[in-house]
Amino acid sequence: MRRRAAGGTSRAGRRRRTPLEVRPAPYGVVVASTTRRGRRPGSPDTRAAILTEARTLFAAQGYAGTSVRAVAAAAGVDAALVHHYFGTKDDLFLAAMELPFDPRHVIGPALAGGPDGAGERLLRAFLSLWDDPEIAPVLVGIVRSALQPGGERLLTQGFVPVVLLPVGEALGIDRPDLRMPLVISQVAGLILTRYVIGLEPIASMPAETVVSTYAPVIQHFLTGDLSNGTKSVK
């Protein structure tokens, strides 16, 4: 049997590893490398770290003041990995809010019929989630968190421009920058009274009664005449 030639190769052309080379580890065994450089690769822990840093930055700096690159840097990953996990900045923001659903997918069908009757369709979509006994506790928890100091920025600088203001643009209504905040004020009041503090009789009001009571008001904010009492608002 012939010996290997000097220099680390055999006559069969196989190269012998030197002591400094990294040998493959058994499956499931993590071997630390002293030569690896750069950002850490993707993993479930990495995804969680990205979300943690995203929540912190969105709460501290608002939606507009937070970039995907800043989140990536805080989490110790490349921006490309953030996009790989979450897509756009809007998607990252919604994931950071830990909603049990994508509100854009819920609202979307309600916009298909145009502005006429949109108030009722939007309210029914809203009630289908908030009156769900499995989803409602999660949503109430999110609202309570948003009411803590700093949490309001997640709503005013994040959820509102990412999810709610585009509703007005999609419906093609005039002055969406005025109308949608009015709609939000009505919906926010309904959330607090019906679901958070349980104010009666609103808390136990049948869904159809809620629709018949609130939908006309929301529809007015969407398409009605706002000239009276709003002249000072531009």
Q: Where are the domains of the chain?
A: 44-96, 103-223
Taking only the tens place, the pLDDT of each residue in 172-224 is 999 998 999 999 999 999 999 999 999 999 999 999 999 999 999 999 999 99
Which phi and psi angles does 5 have, rounded to 5°?
-75, 155
- DSSP assignment string, 92-134: HHHHHTT-SS-HHHHHHHHHTT-STTHHHHHHHHHHHHHT-TT
Query: CA quadruple 176, 55, 105, 215: dihedral positive or negative?
Result: negative
CATH topology of domain 44-96: Arc Repressor Mutant, subunit A (1.10.10)
What's the whole-number mean pLDDT along residues 65-82? 93
Taking only the tens place, the pLDDT of each residue in 26-58 is 323 333 333 333 444 556 689 999 999 988 888
Do 44-96 and 103-223 show the same overall fold? no
pLDDT at position 180 is 92
Q: Is the predicted pLDDT of residue 117 greater than 90, yes or no? A: yes
pLDDT at position 190 is 96
Range from 104-108, 193-197, 214-218, 230-234 carrying the lowest mean pLDDT = 230-234
Structure tokens at 188: 């926010």
pLDDT at position 165 is 84
Taking only the tens place, the pLDDT of each residue in 125-168 is 999 999 999 889 988 988 887 777 766 777 777 778 888 888 99
CATH number of this structure's domain 103-223, picked from the four choices 1.10.357.10, 3.30.2320.50, 1.20.1560.10, 1.50.40.10: 1.10.357.10
All residues at 6 or more sequence positions from 52 whose CB lies less than 8 Å from its CB, including other chains: 75
Given pLDDT bands bounded at 50, 70 and 90, which one contains residue 94?
Answer: confident
pLDDT at position 60 is 79
Given pLDDT bands bounded at 50, 70 and 90, which one contains residue 229?
Answer: low
Q: Is 48 left (phi over 0), alpha (psi -120 to 50) or beta?
A: alpha
What's the whole-number mean pLDDT along residues 81-107? 86
Better pLDDT: 160 or 69: 69
What DSSP character marks residue 198?
-
Taking only the tens place, the pLDDT of each residue in 2-25 is 454 444 444 444 444 443 333 333
Which phi and psi angles does 135 have, rounded to 5°?
-90, -35
For residues 122 and 143, give the distance between their C-alpha atoms in angstroms, rounded to a whole number: 19
pLDDT at position 122 is 95
Taking only the tens place, the pLDDT of each residue in 76-91 is 999 999 999 999 988 8
pLDDT at position 44 is 65
In the numeric block, the tokens 């309570």 are attached to 144
